[in-house]
Structure 1
């Protein structure tokens, strides 16, 4: 099928490539002209046949809201917008409502897979009306991993991003447990080779996982994690998960503790947070903080200057620059 893709950063660019390998026609727009297929959002839309489908992969919050608003003026009844970034589910409700008067469909899609998704596929959690999802189902089928799992219609609009939010909250807690275990093994002085202990857990144990694989990869690259500062950002979704737990009176002590540990990491150089930061870098290419050069500032951080329009926001970096995965 034909689809427009707004935002060609680390994930958006790889998604365009995976879709093209699957036989789809993708017209991508990015504020970086070196990677963009169109000079503007309007030009991208003009190249799409009706009914048109546009996938948005720009940073969550105002960049996504502005992009959806700009697309509303460019699209027509029967078209559909997919937000594949890491928007808060409440934004999905507002976006879908704003598009109703023009008859434009809206699907929210939580995406996990990070920089590995091009080859392995992306886990997809999407919400919206069945008729709107049917219009973009071929794209979902191409992006997902091979096999029976990795893709789900989670429910109505907002359900996709809500599910991805909870996924990331769980991810916080799992990474925190691995990281604390690594620090304990390193500190106890009984274990001669902590990296090999972690490697041995990859087969036959109940705690084996892809995150464990990535932890081992990070330790192979830097056994003591000496090149990484004990500082870990939070993408926002961990906070939203804790807030949702409070709203629904569901206790989330492990996720909450993992979130608070990241806050503490910004005060002290924590060995545990070195491990969390290393895992985040492995699966998502997230920036890590390194020791500052003499007379300079430390490298890393997830931020960047704000842009004023949707067209400017649809730039390199995509919707997952500061998301977990």
Structure 2
């Protein structure tokens, strides 16, 4: 999909990189590169997502049509650029906007205590099926990601480009949404249900506090090894991503809806039960997903209309 002669995927990635460089210059913040051998904060090795993307690209190249494969191979480096900017900006949040809304969001959890307790009870009730060490919070999200791209690339190729744009928009808009009313997360008030997650949260909190105390030098020296350690509760991008994939399934892949409903419910419940997120973070993430979905569809429709007009004009010229 193009705006003028520039693909929209490149425009989104370029805008994110420009924003990252602008924040870096304006606030004197160091751009860091991932140096760790393991994404400790999310519990997976960096190589697995890379292998997954490579395998996904190979399958799409073989089983999908040429246009879909071209879209995938264009969007993949764009998404990598967006993620690079995303994680840098996420590390910089307390230096860009020093305000903190944890107390306000925590009060909403206190008011809605039964919903928090219900989320914890639901997560506890399925420990026999999905134990803590399964890391299913991340695995289910990654599964939604890969399954959606594979299904829409092969079965609904007309919507594949829209999905790619929607994901890029979601990640980019979510990055800026973090800066509006930032918060760390409810685990600063109470531990979540999963002791493994709690340990990771406290490690991330230690980096966060070190960043505030020691400033940019601390980020430059430690940011690479903790590239994914930035804390941002509002909005929940995992909830947003899960709902975005659910939206595409609802509109274009009804066969996936039952499975995606279960994954979406698990992610929403676990986000609260593990105390990654306040309850209010979830509807904010869902709203962000809806905006990204609608905006991507609008951009796609404009592109299709533009191409149709171009064909009509070319046809009339040929007839004359």
Structure 2 length as normaliser, TM-score?
Answer: 0.25
Flag the structure with more relative contact order, 1 or 2, with Cα contacts below 8 A and sequence separation at least 6. Answer: 2
TM-score calculated relative to the size of structure 1? 0.25
- In proportion to residue count, which structure has more helix? 2
